[in-house]
Structure 1
Amino acid sequence: MKYNFTSIIIYLFLLGSFYSCGIIKHIPEDERLYTGAKLVIESDSVIKNESALKTDLETVLRPEPNSKFLGIYFGLYYYYKVQKEKPGFINRWLYKQLGEEPVYQSDVETYDVEELLVNRLENRGFFYSSAASEFEETEKKASLKYTVTVPKPYRMVNYKLDSMPFSIHKSVEKLVSESPFKTGMRFDLNTMKMERQRIDKNLKKKGYYNFNENFLIFEADTNQYHNKNFDLFLKLKNEVPKKSLIPYTISKINIYPNYKVSNSAELKPTRYNEKNFIQEEEFFKPKYLDPFVVLEEGDYFNPERSRNTARRLSTIGAYKYVNIQYKELDTLADDNLGHLEANIYLSPLNKRALRAELQVVTKSNNFAGPAFTLTLSNRNLFGGGETYNITPKVGYEKQIGGNQNSGNSSLELGLQNELIFPRVLFPVKINDDFFKYSIPKTKTSLSVDYLKRTDLYTLLSGTALFGYLWDANQYVTHEINPITVNYTALLNKTDAFEDILNKDPFLRRSFDQQFIAGLTYGFTYNEMVNANKKHQLYFSFKFDIAGNTIGLLGKDQGPNKTKTFLGLEYAQYAKADIDFHYHLNMGKEQVIAARVFGGYGLAYGNSDVIPFVKQYYSGGPYSVRAFNIRSLGPGTYDPDSDPTDGDIFFDKTGNIKLEANIEYRFPIVSFLKGAVFADAGNIWNSKENPIYDGKDKFSKNFISELGMGAGIGLRVDIQSFVIRFDLAAPFHNPALPKGERFDFDLSSPILNFAIGYPF
């Protein structure tokens, strides 16, 4: 059944009328439903940025009226429903999720709101303002109109510093000269509070350990002027403690690398780089711990340096708690300088840790089975904060479903060894001061994987990596791996898989190049770490290049043949990905999340196709969810229309990928969350693969070749551990002929199961 736009609007109008009538009959006879207030500003002069002032004033309008959606008071409707003698389970549950108590006209205290409006205006420099209110009533509803009369504001002529003690006067005088206050600035109490905070923050950086912003006070003098101008004076309150007006220096730094309350006072310190390292035995070598501490003896107290030190120490990965405390040392009464002792208490994590993870994996290509991973960690391995992880894994999957490949299964075994150093390992010493925010980590790993796909092949692969990872600031992370080496050996090919390779020479070439050696770089900007931001951005760029260095050492095998290195054919390519996410947090756990992804890989030199493990695919729980994993594309290719393809097990891949997703997330009850989403994307090849009859090549018509789908999701979110179920169906299938691609096919939806949010 199809509906046009007009019929939907009429339906929604009738639905809203039905709900409205159901609510009005429940309103008591002597009451009216309060529907909100509007604010009108009347002024005898032009108000600069009047819209911002109005927005500010509207925040004091109380109470908030009952919420509504498309003109329907759902919360109020279910409130009245549960007032019945037998409301029923569903109505009680909906009331808990959506219900709101009614807000009536009698709940509005107009006098209090008028006072708040006048107070807010005076705080913004509009003295002698006034506010009035008037109800606008119908039979069962009432709204309010507030009118504020705003005169010309008071404006500043001069900003001056009043007399202060010598020990602090010069520092505050310099800060006042750097103030953002300008002549003609409107009197604004909130701006003055921000100025006090600015001065306090900068005085703390200069060593004023005991200073407090509440010691500062502003006085406005209007006696010199007759046209609503004033001079602003900054001064100290009376009886401010003397120790608050002198700067402090750090005279001693004590570091406890393995802090225990019981015996810390009895231990003899080890002196290193003008710091005292106090530990019962050498738990952490001072020369490795010292670079993480940016405090120096003789420096003025600076809270930013303390925070930076605490953050750097916490990133080592060996400590559970980092606690920096300052102790005031005796200072003579006539001294103009105080002294502090900095004590850094470090509480280690357990040296060894064991983490096990068991998953029941269900994939969209009808494979299902258990996967078990065990990680053994050894922290502070060599006394320098090193972490060694050894991770064995085993997984088994079997394809279930009614097709000719139903017997296929796969067994995966793997072992990864990872050693992380919380410092830069480089032949030439790099000054640690170059990395202000955090010290890079050096990451090395060596892993081996064994994958056996029944009736197809066995794949043995080994990977070695050496690289660096560091945070440039709160949001930016860099990762560069100058050495990445991967070797794969395709073993025990069956006749069935050999037949697949014979049909697809490009696929065969992607497996032939067994040796990959190159460099990878990743840049990430991530505002998702700040959960309080309304608008959150995430951007990542990844670059992967292989084969250039060893290409200089490659051995020529003759005309029209690829070069080899140590007897192995090596891959040569460049690949770049861009991934952009945006989250709009609307409050009450409601989020609109969007994502755009683009990737391109170029084979050159020794390669005419990118290795299979580096190619793109589309479809599945983290991609276009209305299509099975690795089944979408490439381009407009349709395997069902190719009698030679049959139900080929092997995945569809390409060297170009574009995707876009949008999703609305909302709470349901407790740890259950819901989602409504739409996805679009596909993969292509820059060079035609003959097996796809030219349908896989990227062209200017790529928009019409996107696979699109929509669906709903259910998520179990327990303390950020998310189990996700997404049900989706396609509404644009590029494999169909032109003119038939738009069709919302609900007959066979795809159920995706995954861990974590898709983006």
Structure 2
Amino acid sequence: MKKHLTKISLIIVILLLFVACNTTKRVAEGKRLLMKNEISVDGKEIKDENLFFQLYQKPNSSILGYRLRLNLFNLSKPNADSTYAIWLNKKPKRKARLAKLLSQKQVDRLGKSFLVSGWSDFLINTGEAPVIYDSTYTKKSLKRLEAYYYNKGYFDVKANFTSDTTLKKKTNIKYQIALKKPYLIDSISTQIGSPALDSLYKAKVANSIIKKNKQYATENLEEERNRITTEFRNNGAYLFQQNYISYALDTINTSKKVNVKLIVKDYSYRENDSSKTAPFELYKISKVAIYTDRSTNKVEAPIKDSVQYKDFMLYSEKKLKYHPKSITNSVFITKGSLFSDTNTQLTTKYLSNLRVFDYPAIEYKIDPKDNKSLIANIYLKPRDKFSFGYSADFIHSNIQDFGISGNTSLGIRNVFNGAETFQIGFRGNVGASKDLANPKNNFFNISEIGVDAKLSFPRLFFPFNLDKIIRKSMIPSTTISVGYAKQTNIGLDKQNFTSSFSYNWSPKTNSTFRLDLFNIQYVKNLNTGNYFNIYQSSYNALNAIANNYPTVNQNYFTNDTHQLTIENGTNGFTADALTNPSGYSITETDLKSIRSIEERRKRLTENNLIFATSISYSQTTKKDLTDNSFHAFRTKFESAGNFLSLLARVSKQLNKQGGADTFFEVEYSQYLKGEFEYIKHWPLPGKKVFAIRSFAGLAVPYGNSKSIPFSRSYFSGGSNDIRAWQPYSLGPGKSGGLNDFNEANLKLTLSAELRFNLFGKFNGALFADAGNIWNVLDNTEDDSYTFNGISSLNTIALGTGTGIRYDQGLFVVRFDFGFKTYNPANSENEKWFKEINLAKSVLNIGINYPF
């Protein structure tokens, strides 16, 4: 029945859209729908979006050529409420009969209801009215096009248009532009009245954007005006503004050349009732005063404590609570230096980055003792010493039928009077699961608790001074963190301890270095006997093999269903098979599978000790959330186990367990790991964006390890990965995702996505994700799992799909439907396009874009 309803609904939607496809349905007689704009320059068709942006009239928007919003608009009924009123009053007794059935008030309101006019209103608001050709707008567009090229130096540009009227109720407009020869800059002269500014200009004239014999462009004049203003205001010209700069252009009898004169006027001011001018002066900073607990509206409050630190004066209404260096390290305005906008902006940015003050206010005043000097007053308003947050959620998942989770956090600012911040958070979860044994009949039989603490220093916490290597302008910081979590009746009931000591700094804008001097993770599994309850695929495979051999000890099975018991049966059968395979006459293939299952069980149930050091670097050209033309990349290198190996030998804690070294009776991991990620976005015409992401990661075990810890391995699938597969369900290689949680130590991914606007805040996407994970250079030998060179690239999976996104502004809610286009796990003739159907699609729900 459901299938029939789906088909009927689909047919209805197609028919409605077909009816709406009459794009001229709402075009009145004598009018024409604008279908297409074409622009040619000197006879060559141009697709530059900047040119089309100059046009006053643009055709209705389309998605891959289909005018969805126009067709939605055509589905609506104009003046639906008026049509209803005419229908209601057409027969004298109709209104009375409806009033008896409903009420007079309901009958009157029915015209505004969703049933009568609401659906049409929705279609009108969501859709797009037809763009009716208007020759007035076309003529205005011509002037815009001419102005566009005029500002690029084509002073003799001419533009005209033709209208194609061969189509019924439709038209195409063709704009033709004749550029002729562009004008070049011939000479550049200056008229700068202030000697100080004239010297500054001449010192940096080599950086000028206006060059002789370069094609004239108005935007170059604007950029030069900005450059000069920035140069002047960063070198003491406190009173200078951009509007003091102007240009005089001469093109008379110059043979397609432009003579440019740069004019910088003197400072103008009012004295009494008259206007006066004077040459600009360059101001130096005579004093830097920092008010640590004041705001600009309290400048007259009494000062009770003050201290001079180097060339800075620090004031406080109460006892000074900060080490002076912790604040002055973030101040780039210094005594004796020239006034500088850049130093002001850096100071504001870095003081805000301390996170112990609100946004600072910086005020300059002319020094009454020297009218060519400035006093810089920096007003800081401390944030509250303590901050507290909490949240709670109700949970339903495949682990627990009902759960309640809660988080609390406490923040303490300026802990040691050096602008440090300390945060501690507690998290807990209690839940109920009817699938667990519960002899005490407790409703809540699942729990998890955790605590995390982090201490941040706004500087490098290091025994040596590194200021010459990592300058304070790089916003250096140090973070020390510890965490502990414990689970009960969840998975293997892990205890997880983490600790890290890391440095962060930004060598330049939008780039970041992070050095984890050490990152420790210790995982202890308290309930290893629960393994086969959690990893059902491993249990099913082992159980199927055991049932193939009638000579297996029957005590390993349940009496009723003849299933291996956990854990007596699973452990007993595995031990028998591996120690004496001939006793059950087990085949080589089954023996290999049993060995693989047992190795995986040991790996996932063993306790892990990871002591790693890593360095990562990231860079992006993205300016803000609306920037759709940028690239970003991230790289990371991590090494684990070397320091512990040395420490174990020195402290004589080195022991052998199963051929591996241990530290305090825990086998520690040794590996090298490298990652690289690159993201690129290109803007396309019509509010479209094309984005790609590539990722490569490899972790190689060595020394004390034959495999990578589960927490440091890679998985594939999910809403931010290969979207045609669920998380952990793809790979490794062509194995087919046989395990419950498939992971490996090599990963390659390449994704591409075309994003476009549907209507309003709703956007669409077409995407393709390719990639997989493999085992390489570890203890896995099965060819279906491993990467064996170039030939293994044919096991890269391909998922394609489409998505709908709602852009709320602050975040994006995303729905992606992924289809397995190429599945390397299938047989040779079943790999391509055999799973392109809704029944086998994967729905991913996410927040914000995947990359």
- What are the equivalent positions in structure 2 for 1:451-462 lying under 5 Å apart? 451-453=487-489, 457-462=492-497
Q: Is 1:688–1:694's contact at 8 Å kept on the other side of the alignment?
A: no
SS at match of 2:627: coil
TM-score (norm 1): 0.84
Matched, 1:386 2:424: no
Pick which of 508-517 and 163-172 moved more.
508-517
Residue aligned with 1:599, SS: strand
Shift of 1:603: 0.7
Q: Quote the residue 1:169 is aligned against.
A: 198
1:201 corresponding residue in structure 2: 230
Letter in 2 for 1:390: I
Task: Give the Å deviation of 1:540.
Answer: 1.6
What is the one-letter code of the residue matched to 1:544?
A: E
Q: 1:59 to 1:721 in 2, by over 3 A?
A: closer
Match of 1:508 in 2: 602
Query: What is the Cα deviation at residue 575 of structure 1?
Result: 1.2
Matches within 5 A, 1:33-432: 33-42=33-42, 59-86=53-80, 89-110=118-139, 112-138=140-166, 139-162=168-191, 164-221=193-250, 227-237=255-265, 240-241=268-269, 242=277, 245-260=280-295, 261-262=297-298, 265-267=301-303, 269-280=306-317, 281-330=319-368, 338-359=372-393, 369-395=403-429, 411-431=447-467
| SS in structure 2 at match of 1:195 | helix
Aligned-pair distance for 1:472?
2.5
| Structure 2: tracts of 5 or more residues without a match | 1-13, 81-115, 270-276, 436-442, 533-566, 576-596
Q: How far is 1:16 from its partner?
A: 10
State the SS of the aligned residue for 2:634: strand
- Paired position in structure 1 for 2:673: 575
Q: What code does the residue aligned with 2:407 have?
A: T
Deviations 1:607-659 (A, max 9, x none): 1112222222223344334333323222222476xxxxxxx7x5222111223
Structure 2 match to 1:434: 470
Determine the C-alpha separation between the residues in 1 that align with 2:289 and 2:707: 59
Could you say if the C-alpha distance between residues 515 and 243 of structure 1 is closer, same or farther in structure 2, counting changes exceeding 3 Å?
A: farther
Percent sequence identity over matched residues?
26
The question of whether the paired residues in 2 share the 8 Å contact of 1:620 and 1:752 is answered with yes
2:336 is aligned with what amino acid?
G
Segment of structure 1 superposing worse, 722-731 or 438-447: 722-731
Secondary structure in 2 aligned to 1:310? helix
Partners of 1:373 and 1:391 within 8 A in 2: yes
| 2:498 is the counterpart of 1:463 | yes
On the 8 A contact 1:518/1:546 being kept in 2, the answer is yes
1:514-663 equivalence runs, <5 A: 514-528=608-622, 530-555=624-649, 557=655, 561-584=659-682, 591-638=689-736, 651-663=741-753
For these two proteins, the number of residue pairs brought into alignment is 720
Q: Cα offset for 1:301?
A: 0.8
Amino acid at match of 2:787: F
Higher helix share: 2
Change beyond 3 A, Cα 1:160–1:55: farther
Deviations 1:508-552 (A, max 9, x none): 246546322120222122344522422232322222211112212
Summarize the Cα distance change of 1:271–1:127 in structure 2 as closer, same or farther, 3 Å threshold. same
CA contact (8 A) 1:663 1:675 kept: yes
TM-score (norm 2): 0.75
2:29 corresponds to which letter in structure 1? E
Structure 1 pair 80–670 and aligned structure 2 pair: CA distance change class (3 A): closer
Structure 2 counterpart of 1:349, one-letter code: R
Could you tell me how far 1:477 is from its partner in structure 2?
A: 1.3
RMSD of aligned alpha carbons: 3.8
Aligned AA (1:421): F
Q: 1:668 to 1:156 in 2, by over 3 A?
A: closer
8 A contact 2:26–2:130 mirrored in 1: no
> How big is each residue's C-alpha offset from its partner over 1:83-120, in whole Å with a ceiling of 9 and x where there is no partner?
5343854443233223135322355351x444444444
- 2:23 paired residue number: 23
Q: CA 1:451–1:583 in structure 2 vs 1: closer, same or farther (change >3 Å)? A: farther
- Specify whether residues 71 and 57 from structure 1 end up closer, same or farther in structure 2 by C-alpha distance, changes over 3 A only: closer
Does the CA-based 8 Å contact 2:731-2:737 persist in structure 1?
no
Q: Distance in 2 between matches of 1:121 and 1:618?
A: 51
Residue of structure 2 equivalent to 1:47: none
- For the pair 1:738 / 2:776, whether they are aligned, the reply is no
**Displacement after TM superposition at 1:422 (Å):** 1.1
Matches of 1:519 and 1:286, distance apart in 2: 33
Decide whether the 8 Å contact of 2:153 with 2:182 is kept in 1: yes
Distance change in 2, residues 1:600/1:489 (3 Å): same
Cα distance in 1 between the residues matched to 2:244 and 2:418: 45
> 2:262 and 2:340 mapped to 1: Cα distance?
24
Per-residue deviation, 1:304: 0.8
Q: Summarize the Cα distance change of 1:660–1:504 in structure 2 as closer, same or farther, 3 Å threshold.
A: farther
Q: 1:538 to 1:325 in 2, by over 3 A?
A: same
Following TM superposition, by how much is the alpha carbon of 1:505 offset from its aligned partner in structure 2, in angstroms?
A: 1.6
Contact 1:517 1:547 in 2 (8 A): yes
Q: Structure 1 pair 570/258, CA: closer, same or farther in 2 (3 Å)?
A: same
Matched to 1:228, the amino acid is K
Counterpart pick for 1:703 among 793, 805, 818: 793
Aligned counterpart, 1:479: 514
Pair 186,541 (structure 1): closer, same or farther in 2 beyond 3 Å: closer
Q: Is the 8 A contact 1:352 1:378 kept in 2?
A: yes
Q: Are residues 458 and 305 of structure 1, via their aligned partners in 2, closer, same or farther at CA, if it must alter by over 3 Å?
A: same
Residues 364 and 621 in structure 1, CA contact (< 8 A), matched pair in contact too: no
Q: Is the 8 A contact 2:817 2:841 kept in 1?
A: yes
